[in-house]
């Protein structure tokens, strides 16, 4: 197991694929510099206006609201409901999406991963919750408060806005002492 702290001061900013705003990359893996080269990425962004989302065809996408409330994603097949904070939602990155803000701007965390190559998931741990993490890469992000956590008996502290990367070869136990703690999990498909 490797545990690497990721300070918010080192997060990179880049324009969204559609050019409508920017994203702050928490952690990622890529084969090059362009959006088409991204293997997977966990990032945060502010959505301040209604408008179209970037097309990420071929990617699985997860999203969770971490600030504000009232985000609805309109698609040809119906609405994706992100009205309530800290409830991650999974959807196809190739969907045609238009964001609608019902009560003002929101902050969100996004996880995208190439669907053919990676299995991706996102969850939010509550205070006192313990989970078993499967082998793979896991990014832990403390969006709203300092979070004490225990990883296989070792204690760590994530300051508000910071993250940690776990690379696991075997299943491992994670416990969170505060909430919310976002856990983004990425595993290569065999």
Per-residue pLDDT tens, the chain, 190 aa: give them.
899 999 999 999 998 887 778 999 999 999 888 888 999 999 999 999 999 999 999 999 999 999 999 999 999 999 999 999 999 999 999 999 999 999 999 999 999 999 999 999 999 999 999 999 999 999 999 999 999 999 988 999 999 999 999 999 999 999 998 889 999 999 999 7
Complete DSSP assignment for 74-135: EETTEEEEE-STT--EEEETTS--EEEESSS-EEEEEEEEETTTEEEEEEEEPTT-EEEEPS
Please enumerate in sequence order all residues whose Cβ is within 8 A of that of 88, keeping only pairs 6 or more positions apart, or say none: 62, 63, 64, 122, 123, 124, 182
CATH number for the segment(s) 119-188: 2.60.120.10
The topology (CATH level 3) of 11-116 is Jelly Rolls (2.60.120)
Q: Quote the tokens at residue 150.
A: 């225990």
- As a whole number of angstroms, the distance between CA 88 and CA 99 comes to 16
What pTM does this model have?
0.94
Distance CA 154, CA 135 (A): 18
Q: What angle do CA 109, 62, 166 make, to 5 degrees?
A: 70
Length of the chain: 190
Residues of the chain with CATH 2.60.120.10: 11-116, 119-188
């Amino acid at each position: 197991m490797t545990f690497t702290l990721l300070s918010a001061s080192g997060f990179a900013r880049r324009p969204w694929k559609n050019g409508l705003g920017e994203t702050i990359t928490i952690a990622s893996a890529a084969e090059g510099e362009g959006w088409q080269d991204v293997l997977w990425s966990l990032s945060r962004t502010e959505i301040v206006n209604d408008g179209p989302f970037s097309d990420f065809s071929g990617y699985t996408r997860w999203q969770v609201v971490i600030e504000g409330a009232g985000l609805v994603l309109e698609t040809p097949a119906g609405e994706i409901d992100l009205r309530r904070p800290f409830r991650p939602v999974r959807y196809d990155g190739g969907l045609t999406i238009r964001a609608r803000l019902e009560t003002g701007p929101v902050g969100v965390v996004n996880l995208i991963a190439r669907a053919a190559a990676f299995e991706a998931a996102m969850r939010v741990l509550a205070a006192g919750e313990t989970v078993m993490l499967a082998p793979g890469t896991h990014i832990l992000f403390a969006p709203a408060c300092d979070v004490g956590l225990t990883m296989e008996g070792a204690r760590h502290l994530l300051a508000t806005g910071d993250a940690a990367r776990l690379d696991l070869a075997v299943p491992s136990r994670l416990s969170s002492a505060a909430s919310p703690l976002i856990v983004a999990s990425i595993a290569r498909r065999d």
